[in-house]
Amino acid sequence: MFKGAVIRLLMLLGCSVFGFSAHSAVILQYHHVSEDTPAITSVTPAQFSEQMQYLADNDFVVTPLSQVVDAIKTDQALPAKTVVITFDDGYQSIAKMAHPILKEYGFPYTVFVSVEPIKAKYRQMMSWDDLIQLSREGAEIANHSWGHEHLIRKLEDESDVQWLARIEENILKTEDEINRATGQSHKMLAYPYGEYNQAIESMLSEHGFIGLGQQSGAAGSHSPLTALPRFPVAGVYAELSSLKVKLHSLNMPVLSQTNSDPELKKGQWRPELRVTLDMSDIYPHQMMCFIQGQGAKKPLWLSANEFSIRAEFDLPAGRSRYNCTAPSKSASGYYWFSQPWVRAKDDGTWIKE
């Protein structure tokens, strides 16, 4: 009787101490797996093989994205060291280089595709036949918009209502086409370029979609389902030494935040972010934030569990981030939080990409 009570108490303590990571997963984002593509969006086949070997050797639980999403939605615990593998755009190198390696380890994965490049038979892009074959072998095929557009950008003389209706049609038409071609409809959208705003998030929620960005951090019960974070793996972040730290990251226990809309309004180029946390597993003095392009910055603590962070200088036109990390008191690894920002130039136009 006493022994059983002790076991139950230990289980309760374990849940309270490790509760933040119990519902979290690290989602990895890849593009090319090739030696012949731009390094900024690529890992080499050798790097990719080394990374998958590391996952296998260190007991990571590689899980389909749809299962992780279902667990977060229903507040179900995920296994420790849960990892999700995703690819954006649908390049041929996924089928030729990545798929055989993933198949060797039995690792599931998700490919986010845009329809227009497939229909246009763009060089380096997989065909529907390629994607159907991958789906038959367990790959999830999901939504990356019709033509890989900058979703937040309005057309000339387009009203807010017209813009949102166009984006809604874009996403729903893409989902229908993927379903028609592959029989899959997961209602999972990876935002092209990682760009989104609150209007798009609300629209997705109305249609039962989840959204994935390109801001860093572990995804979990404290992540908005329309803005799940992913760790990009490419360029300077392609080395295993860098990836190891991210694979052991934890879902920051964010209770609330202000100013969560990534799209900055004209002139508001130094956004203040206020975040309220569950501090039971975090030492506040060990929290450190990083402002993209401006370096490390200590957060300003407004209370025992609320901090603010703000850029010292204007964020540049284009995409930026605030990242904040803190070591766990009880587990190895860092809690990780990232807020993306995107802004137009001072004259209201967008940088060309």
Confidence of residue 92 (pLDDT cuts 50, 70, 90): very high
Residues 194-248: tens digit of each pLDDT = 999 999 999 999 999 999 999 999 999 999 999 999 999 999 899 999 999 999 9
**Per-domain boundaries in the chain:** 18-248, 256-343
Mean pLDDT confidence for 296-316: 97
pTM for this predicted structure: 0.92
**Residue corresponding to tokens 């990876």:** 190
Class of domain 18-248: alpha beta
Nearest to 143 by CA among 110, 119, 165, 120: 110
What CA–CA distance (Å, rounded) separates 100 from 265?
45
Is a pLDDT exceeding 50 seen at residue 4?
no
Q: Which CATH fold topology does 256-343 show?
A: Immunoglobulin-like (2.60.40)
What CA–CA distance (Å, rounded) separates 294 from 85?
30
pLDDT at 331: 84
Angle 128-136/160-182 helices, nearest 10 degrees? 60
Could you give the strand order of the β-sheet that contains 250-251, starting from the edge strand earlier in sequence?
250-251, 334-343, 318-327, 288-291, 295-297
Answer for the pair 207, 191: CB distance below 8 angstroms, yes or no. Answer: no
